[in-house]
Structure 1
Amino acid sequence: MSDNESEEEEVPKGPVENAWAIKIPEFKKGEMKSHLLEESSFSVLFPKYREKYLKECWPLLVKTLTEYGIKTELDLIEGKMTVFTTRKTWDPYIILKARDIIVLLGRSVPIEQVIKVLKDDVTHEIIKIRNMVRNKDRFVKRRQRLIGANGTTLKALELLTSCYVLIQGGTVAAIGPHKGVQQVVRVVTDTMRNIHPVYLLKALMIKRHLVQDPNLKHEDWSKFIPKFTPKNVPRKKPKVRKLKKPYTPFPPDPTERKIDKQMAEGKFFIEKSERKWSKKRKPTEEEKKESTDRQREKRAKAFIVPEEPKYKPNVPEVNSQVDIKSLKMKVKNSKKK
């Protein structure tokens, strides 16, 4: 019995219980009888910071894709990667996988993980998480929650799903088996919808243990999986609500000056005359009394007798200390004469 006949017998007929268990038949070289009639090509731009890494890993990519008959080009001037089909291409679907490879390379995925996409049992998914959350601060917090402290949450997700997961900017790239990639997509979308990844990872761990038990194969697993009930905390409403003014296309009227208001009420000229009168007004009785008291005090000062200075006699200064020796000498000198 040949290999082709054994493969034909393995293909199930009718409804299938577990489609994931069916092995995908490989497309081998020589099964396509003629070459491709048209050339297909895909181009992808890459950022400037990826240029150095792409120059290093490009020979490895060229070597792997030439085995499938795919031609590659790296344009560093325009920042573009291109893949082409040639007459040596023996797999018609490989050009789409080559397109996925250059897309993932442009999103900072390493070449070692990218080459796995060429396998039939490996797929990839690029999840755009930027538009899932409008608030930028909230988006950064939920993305960090998905990564975890020192990348522990992301590493646990990779181990449970057997996938490679990379978070870059506003996208999440996942490479791995079909079922694992589906689980990664579900975890990422639920995390960005404010469900903590700890609950999702715990559910994945429980499912992994339940799959190994043959007795629970046909039972409902919902009773084993923990249910997460989201709590919507009501926001505090403001005490005073400001009513919106009706929209008018015209600009608001200029604010009135104080003088304009006084003129409109007829108080401007009255107050002006009052101000003039206040300057020329007659003094009151209290003011008159104060001024008379002041004048009386001034007049009374002239009649106050000034204090006479006390007489002090001029006493000559006498030197009490007399030099007797010098005095005796003067007397002797006068006698000699």
Structure 2
Amino acid sequence: EKSVHEEQFDPTEFLPDTFNPMIEDNEFSILVPKTRVDFFMQNFDKISQLFKKYNMDFKMNQQRQMVYVSSTAKTQDPTALLIGRQFLKLLARYVDYDVAVKVFNPNVESEVIACDYCSKQETFLKRRLRFIGDNRQTLSALELLTNTQMAVYGSTVAVVGPPRGIALVQKIVKDVFAKNILPSFWIKTLMTRRELEKVPELQGQDWSTFMPKLKKGKSRRKQKEFVPKKPLEERGITDISQQCERAIDKQLEIGAVVKGRKLRM
């Protein structure tokens, strides 16, 4: 399996040889973030030329912040429209052009994964920062180990790569954001799995003994052990009135308290 980081891809390589035009015209629209409109304006000609190779049309409405991909009279492949829509979605999610264009390769898939599992915004931001890492180190390590390329924007993670790598990234995202599992655990697991795959003697065996295990978190609040009270007879109380007797009752009996004031003895 080739790495998506090193593979050089030419989108025109997979164009069909025969001409079979589509019967119906189709169009898809994608909403673009306001901060990403300038990117589409600057690369409008580049995207249009790419779509023309697949006999598709690219349009943009700057006021509505919408981009459109539509079929033409020469469009032959219906799936090209779906791939074109996914290509625009990736660009809107801040994926680089050179990475997003790889979705036109039949061996490469893409997915936009939602990671809004946290109810509190502060918790979500901390876990997202942990997922990316300092200077993108954690994210780069996960990209190399899963053979994918990712871009984190808002509450989504855009992934480009083989289907196996995308399925793995979906599990990692859910564990990090929903179950609060550190990304370092997955990095250790994937590195261990990669080393075990190089050993022919261990193929087909159980690798659970070699894999890192999650440590159970300790609860911060220690619950006090419940100790039942002894019966009254064992505590030397034979009369219920003795149990309910208070200190102020004894002071009233001896006259030490008069009208809420203590007397000097």
**TM above 0.5:** yes
* Partner SS state of residue 72, structure 1: strand
Matches within 5 A, 1:5-24: none
Q: Report the equivalent of 1:145.
A: 130
* Partner SS state of residue 51, structure 1: helix
Q: Report the equivalent of 1:3.
A: none
Q: Report the equivalent of 2:119.
A: 134
Distance (whole Å) between structure 2 residues aligned to residue 84 and residue 215 of structure 1: 54
In proportion to residue count, which structure has more strand? 2
Taking a change above 3 Å as real, the CA distance of residues 46 and 150 of structure 1, as seen in their structure-2 partners, is: same
Q: Report the equivalent of 2:66.
A: 80
1:145-181, Cα deviation, whole Å (9 max, x unpaired):
1111222111111111121111111111111111111
Distance (whole Å) between structure 2 residues aligned to residue 75 and residue 136 of structure 1: 32
Distance (whole Å) between structure 1 residues aligned to residue 92 and residue 14 of structure 2: 28
Q: Report the equivalent of 2:22.
A: 36
Equivalent of 1:65 in 37, 44, 51: 51
Q: Which amino acid aligns with 1:29?
A: P
Q: Which amino acid aligns with 2:161?
A: G
* Partner SS state of residue 43, structure 2: helix
Q: Are residue 164 (structure 1) and residue 149 (structure 2) matched? A: yes
1:123-159, Cα deviation, whole Å (9 max, x unpaired):
11111112x1112211111111111122211111111
1:190-219, Cα deviation, whole Å (9 max, x unpaired):
111111111111101111122233332211
1:60-95, Cα deviation, whole Å (9 max, x unpaired):
111112111111101112211000112222222111
1:292-323, Cα deviation, whole Å (9 max, x unpaired):
xxxxxxxxxxxxxxxxxxxxxxxxxxxxxxxx
Whether the aligned pair in 2 keeps the contact of 1:68 and 1:89 (CA below 8 Å) is yes
* Partner SS state of residue 43, structure 1: strand
Equivalent of 1:48 in 8, 15, 34: 34
Shift of 1:229: 3.4
Q: Are residue 219 (structure 1) and residue 198 (structure 2) matched? A: no
Q: Report the equivalent of 1:120.
A: 106
Distance (whole Å) between structure 2 residues aligned to residue 236 and residue 223 of structure 1: 32
* Partner SS state of residue 188, structure 2: helix
Whether the aligned pair in 2 keeps the contact of 1:195 and 1:230 (CA below 8 Å) is no
Shift of 1:232: 4.9
* Partner SS state of residue 231, structure 1: coil
Matches within 5 A, 1:143-292: 143-192=128-177, 193-235=179-221
Taking a change above 3 Å as real, the CA distance of residues 213 and 59 of structure 1, as seen in their structure-2 partners, is: farther
Range 204-213 or range 65-74, more displaced = 204-213
Distance (whole Å) between structure 1 residues aligned to residue 20 and residue 39 of structure 2: 37
Distance (whole Å) between structure 1 residues aligned to residue 16 and residue 101 of structure 2: 19
Mark the structure with the bigger radius of gyration. Answer: 1
TM-score w.r.t. structure 2 length?
Answer: 0.74
Whether the aligned pair in 2 keeps the contact of 1:27 and 1:91 (CA below 8 Å) is no
Where does structure 2 lack aligned partners over 5 or more consecutive residues? 1-12, 224-265
Q: Which amino acid aligns with 2:203?
A: K
Whether the aligned pair in 1 keeps the contact of 2:21 and 2:75 (CA below 8 Å) is yes
Q: Report the equivalent of 1:249.
A: none
Q: Report the equivalent of 2:92.
A: 106
Taking a change above 3 Å as real, the CA distance of residues 135 and 236 of structure 1, as seen in their structure-2 partners, is: farther
Q: Report the equivalent of 2:80.
A: 94
Distance (whole Å) between structure 2 residues aligned to residue 90 and residue 220 of structure 1: 48
TM-score w.r.t. structure 1 length?
Answer: 0.59
* Partner SS state of residue 172, structure 1: strand
Where does structure 1 lack aligned partners over 5 or more consecutive residues? 1-25, 238-337
Distance (whole Å) between structure 1 residues aligned to residue 221 and residue 86 of structure 2: 45
- Higher RCO, 1 vs 2 (CA within 8 Å, ≥6 residues apart): 2
In proportion to residue count, which structure has more helix? 1
Shift of 1:227: 1.5
Q: Report the equivalent of 2:239.
A: none
Q: CA RMSD in A?
A: 1.9
Distance (whole Å) between structure 1 residues aligned to residue 167 and residue 81 of structure 2: 23
Shift of 1:234: 4.8
